[in-house]
Amino acid sequence: MLNVSGDQSFARKVILTVAIVLLALLLILLVYFTLDVLLLIFSSILLAIFLRGIADRLRRYLNVSEVFSVLLVTVLLLGLLAGAIAVLAPDVAEQARHLREELPRSATAAANYISQYGWGRALIEQLPSLENARSVLNPGALLAGVGGFFSSTIGTVGNFFVVALLGIYIACEPRTYVRGFTNLFPLDQRTRVREIIFAVGETLQWWLVGKVGSMLFIGLLTWVGLYLLGVPLALTLGLIAGLLSFIPNFGPIISALPALLLAFIPPGSPMKALYVLILYVGVQLVESNVVTPFIERETVEIPPALTIIFQLALAVLVGWLGLVLATPLLAVFIVVIEMVYIEDVLGDRRTEVTEKLGEEKVERGGEELKQGEDLPQPEDVPG
């Protein structure tokens, strides 16, 4: 006698398996083709966390609503940015013009120096010719080649305003988005989902605080050091070093190249270039041993090799924006993997996230929440 029910059950399992595989493939394709949009949304979330963190601290001293505090912080930051641009823009613009003029001269001087050695001549032969370099560095050619990443929408400037607008909206009403996301999960899992969201938000908030402090530290120290060494355009080079320090590993290397080249301009010398290299290495060492340990004490420790691998992968997939956002994205993935897979699936509760974000107690708006108690409802979760 044929086992009809067994055959039907097996067929249903096969169909269900095929459907799950197809759904997973469709999801992967959807993420791949909308990765630029997802990165825009993630940028907005980072901005919202930054604004919300400052706004929550401001509300401790001012009896104002959440929306008003976020808008006040936004206006204050815009005013601070406008003031900094008004004060620094003339000098930076003039130095940037000199930088563009002087870099070819400094590159020629550096090439003449290293061509005295065999390895230098071999290196120069592998570099593109001056005509090719100029064609590559032609602004028109660069703008024409950018095409793919954001050209399908309204351009880089438009995307900047999109990120800013979304960030302000999310910062004003984070509970709405937290509640909407947690409602997608079963009732018995929503508390855990809110706990993971809080841990991710806490990690990103401290990462942003540390990164802003690191950028200011590196920018000021580089500016002062280059000024004392007599390197021209120290202000602009310090600003470049501070901004590019947002990108770990690759940012400091990129920012050091123009300073090293300018050190060869007469009365510069190879020794001055060596001093500049020592300055940049020293600044990075101080930052790595002062600021970075402070960040890792409040967030999660990200292995440097894993960071570089993730940066390279995202840079290949989506370009420069993937390189910029690789580190915070990796921090989010580490938190989610540790809390969802290691803690919930494997049952190992002694993970780094647990120890750093709530082994003894977690503070929520001045109230202490002991480990093991239920987390507050979405309306109590900070943005």
pLDDT digits (tens, 9 = 90+) for 40-53: 899 999 999 999 88
Choice between 155 and 271, residue whose per-residue pLDDT is larger: 271
Listed residue (70, 54, 80) closest to 169, CA to CA? 70
Domain ranges of the chain: 8-380
Number of residues that this document lists for the chain: 383
Which pLDDT score is estimated for 297? 63
Neighbours of 369 (CB within 10 A): 16
Cβ burial, residue 285 (10 Å; 0-12/13-18/19+): exposed
Which pLDDT score is estimated for 152? 44
Once rounded to an integer, what is the mean pLDDT over residues 163-191? 90
Which pLDDT score is estimated for 358? 53
On whether the pTM is more than 0.85, the answer is: no
**Which regions of the chain does DSSP assign to beta strands (E)?**
361-364, 367-370
Residue 308 contacts residue 176 (beta carbons within 8 Å)? no
134 — pLDDT class (breaks 50, 70, 90): very low
Residues with Cβ within 8 Å of residue 243, at least 6 apart in sequence: 215, 219, 255
121 — pLDDT class (breaks 50, 70, 90): low
Please determine, for residue 272, whether its predicted confidence score (pLDDT) is greater than 80.
yes
Of the chain, the percentage scoring pLDDT greater than 70 comes to 74
363 — pLDDT class (breaks 50, 70, 90): very low
197 — pLDDT class (breaks 50, 70, 90): very high
Which pLDDT score is estimated for 286? 84
Which pLDDT score is estimated for 351? 57
Once rounded to an integer, what is the mean pLDDT over residues 302-318? 86
Structure-block tokens of residue 54: 């400052």
Residue 201 contacts residue 332 (beta carbons within 8 Å)? no
